[in-house]
Amino acid sequence: MRLDAFMARAAAAYYAGRDPFGRAGDFTTAPEISQAFGECLGLWAAVAWQQMGRPAPLLLVELGPGRGTLMADALRAIAEVMPAFRAALQLHLVETSPALRAAQARLLPDAQWHADIATLPAGPAIVLANEFFDALPIRQFIRRGDAWLERFVQDGAWHELPPEAAPPLPGHAPEGAVLEHCDAALAIVQTLAARGATLLALDYGPAEDGFGDSLQALSAHGRAEPLAAPGSVDITAHVRFAALAATARAAGAAAHGPLPMGLFLQRLGLMSRAAILARSNPRQAGLILSGAERLVTPEGMGRLFKALCLCHPRRDPPPGFEPA
Ligand code: SAH
CA-nearest of 206, 140, 190, 192 to 167 is: 140
Spatial separation of the C-alpha atoms in residues 37 and 307, rounded to whole Å: 13
CA-nearest of 99, 232, 225 to 158 is: 225
pLDDT digits (tens, 9 = 90+) for 238-251: 999 999 999 999 99
Confidence grade of residue 52 (pLDDT, cut at 50, 70, 90): very high
Q: Please calculate the CA angle 316-318-322 and round it to the nearest 5 degrees.
A: 75
3-state secondary structure of 240: coil
Spatial separation of the C-alpha atoms in residues 256 and 254, rounded to whole Å: 7
Give the number of other Cβ atoms within 10 Å of residue 5's Cβ.
Answer: 13
pLDDT digits (tens, 9 = 90+) for 1-14: 999 999 999 999 99
Spatial separation of the C-alpha atoms in residues 292 and 225, rounded to whole Å: 30
How many domains, the chain?
2
- Considering the domain architecture, whether residues 255 and 298 belong to the same structural domain is answered as yes
Q: Is 95 in the pocket of ligand 1 (CB under 6 A)?
A: yes
- Considering the domain architecture, whether residues 14 and 90 belong to the same structural domain is answered as yes
- Considering the domain architecture, whether residues 56 and 132 belong to the same structural domain is answered as yes
The sign of the CA dihedral 162, 167, 173, 177 is negative
Residue 324 has pLDDT above 80, yes or no: no
Terminal alpha carbon distance of the chain: 46
CATH of the domain at 111: 3.40.50.150
- Considering the domain architecture, whether residues 64 and 175 belong to the same structural domain is answered as no
User: In terms of residue numbers, what domain contains 83?
Assistant: 3-136+182-208+222-311
- Considering the domain architecture, whether residues 177 and 254 belong to the same structural domain is answered as no
- Considering the domain architecture, whether residues 200 and 161 belong to the same structural domain is answered as no
| pTM above threshold 0.85 | yes
Phi, psi of 234 (to 5 degrees): -85, 115
163 CA to middle of ligand 1, Å? 28
- Considering the domain architecture, whether residues 260 and 306 belong to the same structural domain is answered as yes
- Ligand 1 atom having least distance to the Cα of 234: 5
Spatial separation of the C-alpha atoms in residues 100 and 13, rounded to whole Å: 13
322 within domain boundaries:
no
- Considering the domain architecture, whether residues 186 and 234 belong to the same structural domain is answered as yes
- Considering the domain architecture, whether residues 248 and 124 belong to the same structural domain is answered as yes
Q: Is 15 in the pocket of ligand 1 (CB under 6 A)?
A: yes
For the chain, the residue count is 324
Mutate to test the pocket of ligand 1, among 23, 32, 67, 95 (most ligand atoms within 8 A of CB): 95
The predicted model gives 7-36 an average pLDDT of: 92
- Considering the domain architecture, whether residues 123 and 59 belong to the same structural domain is answered as yes
13 within domain boundaries:
yes
